[in-house]
Structure 1
């Protein structure tokens, strides 16, 4: 699963909010699909620019991520590089495209179920659940001593 970090969590939540607020969505369009909308949230690129850059490669986001070559410096590699820089792996990119990471699906409110890859509401739910999982993972790495918590409560009551 992706590297849990605040940039990725924020990007997922921002993308979900943009979609909820009516951002253009079209699963079959590299610039307006699941990954395209995520890229719009983490770059200054428009959906048209993302589409043009994605078309310098061959295939869907899954194939683009698997064939990504850091040395080519082609525009599509810039897009994949940006997704990887925020903590995603090629597997994560594939799972975002098809909404199929089982850890995310198991964590859905109401339990495991398959989502439709091209349904806006399902994409929003997937991004929000993915962000929640990453946030839990990130918070679990933060060491908090019980004594510190008790000290804060005692001093705030004084």
Structure 2
């Protein structure tokens, strides 16, 4: 799963809000689909620019993610690199496009999982809400552990001085 960080969490939340507010959504459009909407937020490219980059390659998001090469020099690969630098993984993006991550699906009520459709705006929102909450919880857990370790180190150092 993604490397949790505030920028990624904020970007996913903004994407959710934009989808709720009616931003363009079209699963068959590389810049307005599940990954495309998140890519807009993370890259500051618009849907048309993302679609144009994607059309220079072959296939949908899943196929282009599978063929991703960070040193290819292809514009789509450069954009994917930027998404990965934000904390996402290739698996995260592949799962987002298909709404298929088992960990995320485990957080969605079973009745909804059975009806989940990769090309339905409300299902994408539902999936992203569960996913961002999981990433947020990981962020909180990591920082709580760090704070506790840091506090224990300070207390230990104070005892020895």
TM-score range, shorter chain: 0.7 to 0.9
- C-alpha deviation, 1:96, in angstroms: 0.3
Match of 1:101 in 2: 101
- C-alpha deviation, 1:44, in angstroms: 2.0
1:73-106 per-position Cα deviation (integer Å, ceiling 9, x unaligned): 2111122112111111111111000001011111
Indicate the larger mover: 41-50 or 19-28. Answer: 41-50
Match of 2:70 in 1: 70
- C-alpha deviation, 1:17, in angstroms: 0.4
CA contact (8 A) 1:27 1:33 kept: yes
CA contact (8 A) 2:43 2:83 kept: no
Structure 2: any 5+ residue segments left out of the alignment? 152-161
1:141 aligned to 2:148? no
- C-alpha deviation, 1:66, in angstroms: 1.7
- C-alpha deviation, 1:141, in angstroms: 1.2
The alignment of Structure 1 onto Structure 2 pairs a total of residues equal to 145
CA contact (8 A) 1:5 1:87 kept: yes
Match of 1:154 in 2: none
Taking structure 2 as the reference length, the TM-score comes to 0.84
Q: Give the CA RMSD over aligned residues.
A: 1.5
- Which secondary structure state, in structure 2, belongs to the residue aligned with residue 50 of structure 1? helix
Alignment of 1:111-126 (within 5 A): 111=110, 113-114=113-114, 115-126=116-127
Match of 2:33 in 1: 33
For residues 24 and 41 of structure 2, the distance between their equivalents in structure 1, rounded to whole angstroms, comes to: 13
Structure 1: any 5+ residue segments left out of the alignment? 149-158
For residues 41 and 7 of structure 2, the distance between their equivalents in structure 1, rounded to whole angstroms, comes to: 11
Q: Which structure's residues are more often helix, by fraction?
A: 2
- C-alpha deviation, 1:111, in angstroms: 4.6
Alignment of 1:48-87 (within 5 A): 48-87=48-87
Indicate the larger mover: 30-39 or 86-95. Answer: 86-95
